Chains A and B, each alone.
Chain A
């Protein structure tokens, strides 16, 4: 027995198992992380049942269950299993001030899930869990009681949502364009100076006209707002506290305990769509992430337009034209090094060079009338894209070179032997064959750029952008605008919001979206690269 044990140690098998444990732990960490994000992110869209808990002190708690734990330091020798407590999302932030409440197990008398409790999704103050007491139009009673109110409320919410859309459109698009006109005219007056009084009079007339149009719009807005706030509903919580809410504040009313599996699934799908397509509310902790998705995609596209020509040309030169000597070796090392430089350093470079040096100069040359308000002399989507382009161009160069190296010599020789010039060979034979390599590089660069945050924080990302970088007012693409970004959204919502606990689901969802994009891009790159390798593996004769 003893000798066989010694032999076992000498064979080193136990150490080999130790090495295997290294792989196992790494794999577990990858899948654990993905699983954690998926469970937390996807769970948010599911409307779970509302429970009503009666406590020993006759108080009622209504809310959604959000977890259970053993109270720290509750384990004593006579009670080895410890005491438990429930975490309940009680909502009603405007009444209670808190979103979550701990309920100790030993306080609970009974726990039910009454079918008549209503979940109100609101534009402000988060969810409300309560029963309906009455619905009012102005001061006149429209419907009374939980059932009557529920029936009366549904059509009102639909109208309110329509009105909200109208108001939003007038505020954002129509008044926005009037403001843009006024601003443009004002800047023109500043640029002209006092010399051309005739033109200035014209412009001033324009401003007056625009202002009167603005007045008209405000009147319509007033009317709509009045209609919007006409109806209100009085809700009553588990302990009989009442709260009056204008119907305009309500986005949706649900009774989760009454809903079947099919209905819940449908709500789940609409929830997913809402998050992907709407704008954030409540300091980004609720609502959707559409502007962040849009900003990320837009930035990555601008960056791709820059890096592909530069990266491919550089790689072509290095691999096909340059004489392989000490110089090219140095360039290669430099390119590899560039990929290893911390991203924050690129951010600092972008801030100092692009924003202050180039942007500041551009402002003085082309937008002097707007100074001291900077146009390009502050962070914006163009500068962020350029900074990320510097960061990711090595990826494209390395990958394109790899692709070029995989194209067999016979291809080039055959083409040249048939009388094609070197340029023709490049354009018609070599580059098309190396296309998977170029694409791999581009995709990897996009994945890297989509997830990078540190340089963006210095070069133009903001927590809430008033307008998208693309819109309907001329010149449609606003490269000077600041933008929102998924990665920064995670940082901002998770770490700089006043109510981190309530914001957590939003962070997980944003993370889920970002991670899906990045992993998908990377998997595509891997598949492409394998394809490239296989394609030419057999052709070397």
Chain B
């Protein structure tokens, strides 16, 4: 900024509070006023992405607080808490979705009878078509209160369901061979459905007993006392489940395609050499389909990052930075949805929200492009066989 002093030397200069003007006193006693075009005086890249020491705070911090009831309020635009929230939500969603989708894809593509597969695959893919506002509503109004009551049962389930599956698998091999031979490949799924339902039902019914067994009387008090965690009803756990649910079909569908496209004669060769089904799968199929699986995960990741309605409805939308499973967060996308309808056109907040949208766009664009290129390469590679 250069202020010319009307060919006189300036001896004193002050800026107006909003930095859009200045008053100067020259050495010849003349008073000069300047108006400076500076629509966004307090926002630079550094204030957006680095910690800022705001008035009344103990030190530099990342804060997002765009508005309040009072007029003398200082808007705090730090995008880092929102980016943190985005990554937190995505991380928990991937934690739920990836194992489920990959296991499902492996099973459907490798071990299921084709006619069964033709029914199961579209069923799971219909999940992708479910409007996310529905998932968000169920997460916020049904799942969140239920998880709050049934959290001990959930912990029990994560242990009990795999154990029951393993027990079923072990017992199954003792069934008479004549009976087993009649079944089509793929029946494991339908055997397991009642097993899982019963296990879950038992866990839910024993919820209170499990709670008193594991946590004394109250799991919230236990977590607060032992780990210093506070349980909010709408938290990362709820989002993890729901958003995981939303991206399962995408990851499932793409990795299933990658797995089924592994050339059949390679598999036949491996089996002919005496490898078991499992060895063939781990040593051959997964290895050759891994780029496809990777790209499926990338696409699922991209979808979770931009997801709006679920996080809007199922988190408390609190822009805090904390990895805890039990509290909420605010993502870039939900933040846009919440604040842009009230942001004055052309103002600082409006432009920062646009920047947030641009960030989201660039990020998903990069991820999707990489995933797409990997997929196309894989396709040309397989078409050589």
Residue positions of A touching B, CB distance < 8 A: 8, 10-30, 33, 36-37, 70, 72-73, 75, 80, 82, 329, 333, 336-337, 340-345, 347-349, 351-352, 356, 444, 447-448, 450-454, 457-458, 487-488, 490-491, 494-495, 500, 504, 507, 511, 514-515, 518-519, 522-523, 526
- Is B192 a contact partner of A341 (Cβ separation < 8 A)? no
- Is B107 a contact partner of A22 (Cβ separation < 8 A)? yes
Most A-side CB within 10 Å, residue of B188, B196, B303, B360: B188
For chain B, the bracket of interface size reads: 35 or more
- Is A20 a contact partner of B189 (Cβ separation < 8 A)? yes
User: Which residues of B are found within 8 Å of A24, using beta-carbon distances?
Assistant: 189-190, 192-193, 196
In the complex, what residue of chain B is closest to A356 when comparing beta carbons?
B345
In the complex, what residue of chain A is closest to B336 when comparing beta carbons?
A344
Most B-side CB within 10 Å, residue of A15, A80, A349: A15
User: Which residues of A are found within 8 Å of B337, using beta-carbon distances?
Assistant: 344, 347, 454, 457-458
- Is B103 a contact partner of A22 (Cβ separation < 8 A)? yes
Per-residue contact bits, chain B 110-129, to A (CB 8 Å; 1 contact, 0 not): 11100000001011101101
Task: For residue A107, give the distance in angstroms from its CB to the closest CB of chain B.
Answer: 21
- Say yes or no for B320: interface residue by CB 8 A criterion: no
User: Which residues of B are found within 8 Å of A514, using beta-carbon distances?
Assistant: 131, 133-134
- Is A345 a contact partner of B357 (Cβ separation < 8 A)? yes
How far, in angstroms, from A519 to B130 measured CA to CA in the complex?
8
- Is B369 a contact partner of A337 (Cβ separation < 8 A)? yes
How far, in angstroms, from A475 to B222 measured CA to CA in the complex?
65
- Is B277 a contact partner of A12 (Cβ separation < 8 A)? yes
Given that A10-B276, A451-B130 are known contacts, is A511 also in contact with B336, CB under 8 Å in the complex?
Answer: no
Given that A21-B165, A340-B364, A454-B333 are known contacts, is A494 also in contact with B278, CB under 8 Å in the complex?
Answer: no
Given that A514-B134, A519-B126 are known contacts, is A26 also in contact with B104, CB under 8 Å in the complex?
Answer: yes
- Is A340 a contact partner of B353 (Cβ separation < 8 A)? no
Main secondary structure of the interface of B (DSSP, over half): helix
Instruction: List 25 A-B residue pairs with CB atoms under 8 Å apart, sorted by A's residue number.
Output: A12-B278, A14-B170, A15-B278, A16-B188, A16-B278, A17-B168, A18-B103, A22-B102, A22-B106, A22-B107, A23-B104, A26-B104, A30-B123, A33-B130, A73-B217, A75-B209, A333-B373, A341-B361, A343-B306, A447-B129, A490-B137, A491-B136, A495-B313, A511-B138, A519-B129
- Is A20 a contact partner of B192 (Cβ separation < 8 A)? yes
How far, in angstroms, from A10 to B360 measured CA to CA in the complex?
46
Given contacts A13-B169, A19-B107, A75-B208, list 12 more A-B pairs with CB under 8 A: A11-B277, A12-B281, A22-B106, A24-B192, A72-B149, A333-B372, A340-B299, A342-B333, A448-B129, A457-B337, A494-B313, A511-B138
- Say yes or no for B274: interface residue by CB 8 A criterion: no
How far, in angstroms, from A67 to B269 measured CA to CA in the complex?
59
How far, in angstroms, from A70 to B207 measured CA to CA in the complex?
11
Which B136-156 residues sit within 8 Å CB-CB of chain A? 136-138, 140-142, 149
- Is B107 a contact partner of A23 (Cβ separation < 8 A)? yes
In the complex, what residue of chain A is closest to B135 when comparing beta carbons?
A33
How far, in angstroms, from A17 to B166 measured CA to CA in the complex?
7
- Is B124 a contact partner of A11 (Cβ separation < 8 A)? no
- Is B302 a contact partner of A340 (Cβ separation < 8 A)? yes
Given that A13-B278, A36-B142 are known contacts, is A342 also in contact with B372, CB under 8 Å in the complex?
Answer: no
Task: For residue B226, give the distance in angstroms from its CB to the closest CB of chain A.
Answer: 18
- Is A454 a contact partner of B140 (Cβ separation < 8 A)? no
- Is A342 a contact partner of B133 (Cβ separation < 8 A)? no
User: Which residues of B are found within 8 Å of A10, using beta-carbon distances?
Assistant: 276
Task: For residue A44, give the distance in angstroms from its CB to the closest CB of chain B.
Answer: 14
User: Which residues of B are found within 8 Å of A511, using beta-carbon distances?
Assistant: 134, 137-138
- Is B130 a contact partner of A515 (Cβ separation < 8 A)? yes
- Is B369 a contact partner of A333 (Cβ separation < 8 A)? yes
- Is A29 a contact partner of B138 (Cβ separation < 8 A)? no
Task: For residue B80, give the distance in angstroms from its CB to the closest CB of chain A.
Answer: 19
- Say yes or no for B327: interface residue by CB 8 A criterion: no
Task: For residue A383, give the distance in angstroms from its CB to the closest CB of chain B.
Answer: 14
- Is A341 a contact partner of B196 (Cβ separation < 8 A)? no
User: Which residues of A are found within 8 Å of B307, using beta-carbon distances?
Assistant: 342
User: Which residues of A are found within 8 Å of B124, using beta-carbon distances?
Assistant: 23, 26-27, 30
Per-residue contact bits, chain B 296-340, to A (CB 8 Å; 1 contact, 0 not): 000100110111110011000000000000000000010011001
User: Which residues of A are found within 8 Å of B248, using beta-carbon distances?
Assistant: 26, 29
Contact of A504 among B141, B190, B277 (CB under 8 A): B141
- Is B122 a contact partner of A341 (Cβ separation < 8 A)? no
- Is A454 a contact partner of B138 (Cβ separation < 8 A)? no
- Is B217 a contact partner of A522 (Cβ separation < 8 A)? no
User: Which residues of B are found within 8 Å of A344, using beta-carbon distances?
Assistant: 306, 308, 333, 336-337, 357, 360
How far, in angstroms, from A80 to B165 measured CA to CA in the complex?
29
How far, in angstroms, from A518 to B106 measured CA to CA in the complex?
28
How far, in angstroms, from A352 to B302 measured CA to CA in the complex?
23
Given that A36-B138, A458-B340, A490-B134 are known contacts, is A21 also in contact with B103, CB under 8 Å in the complex?
Answer: yes
User: Which residues of A are found within 8 Å of B302, using beta-carbon distances?
Assistant: 340
- Say yes or no for B233: interface residue by CB 8 A criterion: no
- Say yes or no for B28: interface residue by CB 8 A criterion: no
- Say yes or no for B235: interface residue by CB 8 A criterion: no
Task: For residue B344, give the distance in angstroms from its CB to the closest CB of chain A.
Answer: 11
Task: For residue B183, give the distance in angstroms from its CB to the closest CB of chain A.
Answer: 12
Task: For residue B331, give the distance in angstroms from its CB to the closest CB of chain A.
Answer: 10
Task: For residue B299, give the distance in angstroms from its CB to the closest CB of chain A.
Answer: 6
Task: For residue A284, give the distance in angstroms from its CB to the closest CB of chain B.
Answer: 14
Task: For residue A339, give the distance in angstroms from its CB to the closest CB of chain B.
Answer: 8
Task: For residue A408, give the distance in angstroms from its CB to the closest CB of chain B.
Answer: 19
User: Which residues of A are found within 8 Å of B360, using beta-carbon distances?
Assistant: 342, 344-345
User: Which residues of B are found within 8 Å of A447, using beta-carbon distances?
Assistant: 129
- Is A23 a contact partner of B189 (Cβ separation < 8 A)? yes
